[in-house]
Amino acid sequence: MSLQIILGDITEQEADAIVNAANTTLLGGGGVDGAIHRAAGPALLAECRSLGGCETGQAKITKGYRLPAAYVIHTPGPVWRGGGQREGELLASCYKSCLDLAAAHQCKTVAFPSISTGVYRFPLEQGAAIAVDTILAWLAPQDDVHQVTMVCFDEKTKKAYDEALANSFAANKSKPESSAC
């Protein structure tokens, strides 16, 4: 079970499930939300309409339709409002909720975008650290999900995630009984 960081387009990933950085209506939008809906086709929106929205930090699953991925897991990330409104906690909850839902649907491979660090203005370095630490902590005891991929859409985002991953391993090494992840 591992976490890999790549540069790419999440709509092209052949993972069992890809994650959509949605909004609470689940009725589409711009950014990665718009890209996923365009690639999946209108049947995705039709299924999303039946879900009744989703709370920030929670996740709901649909089929992938025309996407290579079998499933899309939709999660509304927090809008950055300065850091005093549980934004970090809610962002961590997005990653955990998506992984729990993926495991419940027997998904062995899951691909994430960088949730909330676009339109929702979550600071990139802080968001990357929360994402990496939450995913690695979730993966450690798990046998269900075998491969998590963070799909970065630009070099700046990939650099932030590469640094977050390096920092996470360095922090683990400094612990007395460090274990490989």
Q: How far is CA 158 from CA 139, 149, 151, in A?
A: 20, 12, 8
Q: Does the active-site annotation cover 33?
A: yes
Distance of closest approach, residue 174 Cβ to ligand APR, in angstroms: 29
Strand runs (DSSP E) across 8-141, as ranges? 17-22, 60-63, 71-76, 109-112
Residues that bind ligand APR (CB under 6 A): 9-11, 21-23, 29-35, 77, 113-120, 151, 153-154, 157
Least CB distance to ligand APR at residue 145 (A)? 19
Is residue 95 a contact partner of residue 115, using CB atoms and an 8 Å limit? yes
Considering the complex, state which of residue 154 and residue 177 has its C-beta at the smaller distance from ligand APR. 154
Which of 33, 100, 144, 162 does the annotation list as catalytic? 33
Q: Return phi, psi of residue 52, to 5°.
A: 70, 30
If the CB atoms of residues 64 and 118 are measured against ligand APR, the closer one turns out to be 118
Tell me the C-alpha distance between 69 and 72, whole Å. 7
Nearer to ligand APR, 107 or 111 (CB): 111
The residues annotated with a catalytic role in the active site are: 33
